[in-house]
């Protein structure tokens, strides 16, 4: 029985990816990540102060407790859903788990949005900037066409980890609660993990735990994503990846972005912050499409690569239970 549970976990993972490929995102009203976002927004108004304060340990404590409370709720709900699904006949259990795992993944939406930036750039510079503004938080008003393309490809590479590889990694390790916990942590980092003011609130201390928690949970998956990109793109010298990844402020985001820059043979960067593969040429329109293709190969590879780990960990959890 334990082994069959492990096998249906693998089938559910592949089914979730198939659903992601064939269908669009669930409506916001029933999307669990959107629910997480609304809860974090509500909590954020209560944990982050409106004025900067040096070494605000009270804000840090509020942010930490709110994050831990939210994470506990998410994990318990996901655990309960998975336990109920395991009581169903195997075909229904696989279908149910695939359906609830799917919202934790967003590869189709990500690649469509990045391709849409490229299509908008073909129409006009302003259209390209406007479309990019839906994907990134940086100021896009003064970006040149090549910089718009760089930002789109960087977003694709970084979110290939955040939206696909990392959720699948934690699903393989801890089941549905693991995937849900990661999506909560990543959403909290996106909303709270700022070093200063955002939307009238000061997050330097209130969001510190959220930022560090996401760093920890993304550490292994980010390097796995970079390694798979390097293999998919035929990167000959892995040492270059280590050098480039160290240039970004993020301990994790630089890995998939650097790998993408190197395998494409292009420069990628954020003005005034970092430049990856600086001696290479600026990306061209075909590089965006190639980046999407490389990302798809990584998605397939990680599903195959994580299947044995999913089986082993599911057997271990079943035996422990």
Per-residue model confidence (pLDDT) at position 148: 96
Taking residues 270-288, report their average pLDDT.
95
**pLDDT interval class at 7 (50, 70, 90):** confident
What does the pLDDT look like over 202-255, one tens digit per residue? 999 999 999 999 999 999 999 999 999 999 999 988 899 999 999 999 999 999
**Residue 259 contacts residue 243 (beta carbons within 8 Å):** no
pLDDT at 96 over 50: yes
Per-residue model confidence (pLDDT) at position 321: 54
Tokens standing for 286?
């075909």
Transcribe 236-266 into DSSP letters: S-HHHHHHHHTTSSSTTTHHHHHHHHHHHTB
* Helix, strand or coil, per DSSP, at residue 52: coil
**Residue 209 contacts residue 194 (beta carbons within 8 Å):** no
All residues at 6 or more sequence positions from 155 whose CB lies less than 8 Å from its CB, including other chains: 110, 114, 135, 136
How many beta carbons lie within 10 A of that of residue 147, not counting itself? 22
Domain boundaries along the sequence of the chain = 2-320
* C-alpha dist (Å) from residue 143 to 116, 124, 134, 139: 17, 13, 15, 8
Whole-model pTM: value is 0.95
Query: What letter does residue 277 receive in the DSSP assignment?
Result: S
All residues at 6 or more sequence positions from 308 whose CB lies less than 8 Å from its CB, including other chains: none
């Amino acid at each position: 029985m334990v082994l069959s549970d492990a096998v249906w976990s693998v089938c559910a993972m592949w089914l979730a990816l198939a659903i992601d490929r064939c269908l669009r995102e669930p409506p916001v009203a029933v999307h669990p990540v959107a629910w997480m976002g609304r809860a974090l927004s509500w909590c954020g108004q209560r944990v982050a102060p409106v004025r900067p304060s040096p070494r605000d340990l009270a804000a840090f404590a509020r942010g930490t407790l709110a994050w831990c409370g939210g994470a506990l709720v998410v994990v318990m709900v996901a655990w309960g859903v998975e336990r109920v699904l395991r009581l169903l006949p195997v075909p229904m259990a696989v279908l149910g788990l695939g359906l609830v795992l799917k919202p934790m993944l967003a590869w189709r939406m990500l690649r469509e949005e990045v391709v849409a930036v490229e299509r908008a750039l073909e129409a006009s510079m302003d259209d390209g900037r406007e479309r990019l503004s839906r994907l990134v938080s940086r100021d896009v008003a003064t970006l040149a066409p090549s910089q718009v393309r760089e930002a789109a490809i960087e977003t694709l590479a970084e979110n290939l980890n955040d939206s696909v590889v990392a959720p699948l990694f934690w699903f393989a390790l801890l089941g549905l609660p693991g995937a849900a916990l990661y999506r909560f942590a990543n959403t909290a980092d996106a909303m709270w993990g700022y070093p200063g003011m955002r939307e009238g609130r000061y997050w330097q201390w209130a969001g510190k735990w959220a930022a560090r928690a996401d760093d920890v949970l993304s550490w292994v998956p980010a390097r796995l994503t970079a390694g798979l990109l390097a293999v998919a793109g035929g990167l000959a010298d892995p040492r270059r990846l280590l050098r480039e990844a160290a240039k970004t402020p993020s301990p994790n985001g630089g890995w998939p972005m650097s790998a993408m820059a190197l395998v494409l043979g292009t420069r990628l960067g954020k003005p005034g912050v970092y430049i990856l593969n600086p001696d290479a040429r600026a990306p061209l329109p075909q590089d965006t499409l190639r980046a999407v293709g490389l990302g798809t190969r990584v998605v397939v590879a990680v599903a195959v690569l994580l299947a044995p780990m999913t089986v082993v960990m599911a057997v271990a959890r079943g035996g422990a239970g």
